[in-house]
Amino acid sequence: MNPKLLFWIPALLRLTFLFVFAGLCWWMAGLAAGLGVALLLVLLQLYLQLSYLGQLSAWLDDSHSAKLPDGWGAWTDVFSRLYRLRRDDERSQAELTEWLARFRQAMHLLPDGVAIMDDVLFLEWCNPAAERHLGLTLERDRGMRVTNLVRHPDFIDYIILGRYEQPLTLSLRDRKLICQIIPFENRRQILVTHDATENARIEEMRRDFIANASHELRTPLTVIVGFLEIASSTPDLDPASRQAHLLLMTEQGRRMQRLIEDMLTLSRLESVDYPMRPEPVRIGALVEEVLQEARALSGGQHQVSASVDGPDISGSAEELRSAFGNLASNAVRYTPAGGSVQLIWKAGPDGPQFVVKDTGIGIDQSHIARLTERFYRVDKSRSRETQGTGLGLAIVKHVLLRHRATLTIKSEAGKGSCFTVTFPGR
Ligand SMILES: Nc1ncnc2c1ncn2[C@@H]1O[C@H](COP(=O)(O)OP(=O)(O)O)[C@@H](O)[C@H]1O
Ligand SMILES: [Mg+2]
């Protein structure tokens, strides 16, 4: 039904009832009584309307704490509709607050920086990542011009040129940032920043790796090509020299083989899905194999011993053999004849441990942090002499990473080294 009718019909009915009652009084007790009753009832109505109006006015002043009355007549409907309105309003307010809180939290957790600026680049708001990336403090810098806050010539050029469809790469505060400005609404712009330092570092590592690998391969190749040229230009080379050249070429060829094998191992370790599928590894047999290999490498020049007193673990037996073998071969190769090498498998306080101890040349403290970098060697010529590729500890690091194990190196130049691998405890 029409809402107007819904209001007017009961109102008119109530009025009719009032006059009918007054008419009844008139009929029963005379005109004066009838008029008196009518006046009384009209006054009562007026009082009721005014008092509800007063209550409504008070409620409007303080609609959150004051309570709405139930009302009488048309007021019942008005009050209940107002009450419903307020409840809906409170509900959407609460929803909005919740959304805002969620949005704030998301912005807090976002690894990328977001800064909102007006059309003339005055900072209005930014998230913590933007504060970190650009060196801002929202409290302090709100309302300042972003070009005054980020004083980098490339950034200023970017703003002046206004080619915002292209991102800008900035070197700022020792980090590589990718920035982009996105205009939105009519008079606002968003500055988005992404920290690409890690990507740039990986890219640089790749470049270094290729440069190093090429360099490492070039040296033996130069030797081989040199001897081949001698052989082809001097057909009457004496057999003894020829034999010596062949021997050197074979040695250099083997060196290239070792390099390529290690590079392939590294690339395999990197490309295999992480984490690997673990299998039970019989450590006793594995350490025994590593021990035999180390003894063969030493050729009886060192005292090489092993002890196994710890639980078996699960992992990749092949990868672990390669990692343990690398540590053991380093110990033999960097320990002068007469020294000793110990391989120990034991149950450590934080989990099972594999320890390789030697009494060799040791490592100066300044080198220790960089030993697991690819091609990093303390003494290049010594590493080559002993058939090193400079990739052994990089392989060890990768294998351990895949087994969630850690490597600690304790060493002192001239006093020997101790490499400890700690596997996660149960
Ligand atoms: N047990 C050790 N004693 C002394 N120096 C070591 C030992 N193990 C590793 N190093 C040093 O760490 C460098 C890197 O080791 P690694 O990655 O295995 O390469 P390499 O092929 O040279 O052995 C070595 O060149 C050597 O200088
Ligand atoms: Mg090595």
- 339 C-beta closer than 6 A to ligand 1: no
Burial tier of 127 (Cβ tally within 10 Å: 0-12, 13-18, 19+):
buried
Give the number of whichever ligand sits closest to the CA of residue 334: 1
Q: Whose CA is nearest to atom 27 of ligand 1?
A: 378
- 331 C-beta closer than 6 A to ligand 1: yes
Q: Whose CA is nearest to atom 25 of ligand 1?
A: 377
CATH number, residue 159: 3.30.450.20
d(CA 270, CA 278): 16
* pLDDT the model gives residue 275: 59
* pLDDT the model gives residue 59: 84
- 344 C-beta closer than 6 A to ligand 1: no
Angstrom CA distances, 81 to 12, 53, 306, 415, stand at: 21, 15, 87, 89
Angstrom CA distances, 274 to 227, 262, 268, 323, 374, stand at: 45, 20, 11, 17, 20
* pLDDT the model gives residue 187: 87
* pLDDT the model gives residue 274: 57
Specify the DSSP element, H or E, that contains 299: none
Query: Per the domain annotation, does 215 fall within a domain?
Result: yes
- 262 C-beta closer than 6 A to ligand 1: no
How do residues 369-384 score in pLDDT, each as one tens digit? 999 999 999 988 877 7
Strands 352-358 and 313-315: unpaired
* pLDDT the model gives residue 273: 62
Q: Whose CA is nearest to atom 14 of ligand 1?
A: 377
Query: Per the domain annotation, does 245 fall within a domain?
Result: yes
Give the number of whichever ligand sits closest to the CA of residue 417: 1
Give the number of whichever ligand sits closest to the CA of residue 331: 1
Of ligand 1's listed atoms, the one at least distance from the Cα of 362 is 4
Of ligand 1's listed atoms, the one at least distance from the Cα of 387 is 21
With a threshold of 0.85, does the pTM exceed it?
Answer: no
Q: Among the three residues 140, 160, 195, which one is the final residue of a domain in this structure?
A: 195
Q: Are residues 247 and 333 both part of a single domain?
A: no
Query: Per the domain annotation, does 75 fall within a domain?
Result: no
CATH number, residue 386: 3.30.565.10
Q: Are residues 379 and 405 both part of a single domain?
A: yes
* pLDDT the model gives residue 255: 92
- 358 C-beta closer than 6 A to ligand 1: yes
How do residues 158-217 score in pLDDT, each as one tens digit? 988 888 999 999 998 889 999 999 998 888 999 999 999 999 988 988 899 899 999 989
Q: Whose CA is nearest to atom 8 of ligand 1?
A: 330
- If one counts the domains in the chain, the total is 4
Q: Are residues 311 and 412 both part of a single domain?
A: yes
C-alpha of residue 373 to centroid of ligand 2, in Å: 12
Angstrom CA distances, 218 to 255, 300, 384, stand at: 11, 34, 14
Q: Are residues 191 and 321 both part of a single domain?
A: no
Q: Are residues 151 and 220 both part of a single domain?
A: no
Q: Are residues 181 and 216 both part of a single domain?
A: no
- 209 C-beta closer than 6 A to ligand 1: no
Q: Are residues 299 and 335 both part of a single domain?
A: yes
* pLDDT the model gives residue 272: 64
Query: Per the domain annotation, does 179 fall within a domain?
Result: yes
C-alpha of residue 281 to centroid of ligand 1, in Å: 26
CA angle in degrees (0–180, nearest 5) for 289-370-416: 55
* Mutation probe of ligand 1 site: the residue of 209, 259, 265, 330 with most atoms within 8 A of C-beta: 330
Query: Per the domain annotation, does 62 fall within a domain?
Result: no
What b/e string do you get for 228-243 counting C-beta neighbours within 10 Å, with b at 16 or more?
A: eeeeeeeeeeeeeeee
Task: Give me the domain span that covers residue 131.
Answer: 107-195
Q: Whose CA is nearest to atom 24 of ligand 1?
A: 377
Q: Are residues 297 and 330 both part of a single domain?
A: yes
Query: Per the domain annotation, does 77 fall within a domain?
Result: no
Query: Per the domain annotation, does 73 fall within a domain?
Result: no
- 341 C-beta closer than 6 A to ligand 1: no
- 405 C-beta closer than 6 A to ligand 1: no
Q: Are residues 290 and 343 both part of a single domain?
A: yes
- 407 C-beta closer than 6 A to ligand 1: no
Q: Among the three residues 168, 195, 222, which one is the final residue of a domain in this structure?
A: 195
Q: Are residues 291 and 267 both part of a single domain?
A: no
> Which parts of the chain have pLDDT scores under 70?
272-275, 426
